[in-house]
Amino acid sequence: MFSNIGVPGLILILIVALVIFGPNKLPEIGRAFGRSIREFKKATDGIADDIREEIKEDIKETHQGTINLKK
C-alpha cells in the first residue's frame, strides 16, 4: 500500500500535516501513532501465540491418541 508513495508523496503528506496540526501538535500525534502501532503489534503477537499453543496441544493430543491405538 505505501510502497507507491515515494519521497515526494511523503514530503507532501508531512507538509500538509504540519499545516493542519502545527509544529507543536505534530510530535504528540507521532507518539500516539507509535503507541497505537505498538499495541496493535502486541495484540496480534498475543493472538498468534495463542493459536500456536492450541496447535501444539492438538498435535500432542493426536500423538497421544495414536500411541493409545497402537497398544
pLDDT band at 69 (very low <50, low <70, confident <90, very high): low
Confidence (pTM): 0.55
CA-based torsion, 15, 21, 26, 30: positive or negative: negative
CA distance 58 to 49: 14
pLDDT band at 54 (very low <50, low <70, confident <90, very high): very high
Is the pLDDT score of 23 beyond 60?
yes
In this prediction, residue 3 carries a pLDDT of 64
In this prediction, residue 45 carries a pLDDT of 94
For residue 68, the Cα-to-chain-centroid distance in whole angstroms is 41
Average pLDDT over residues 45-55: 93
| CA dist 66 → 44, 62, 70 (Å) | 33, 6, 6
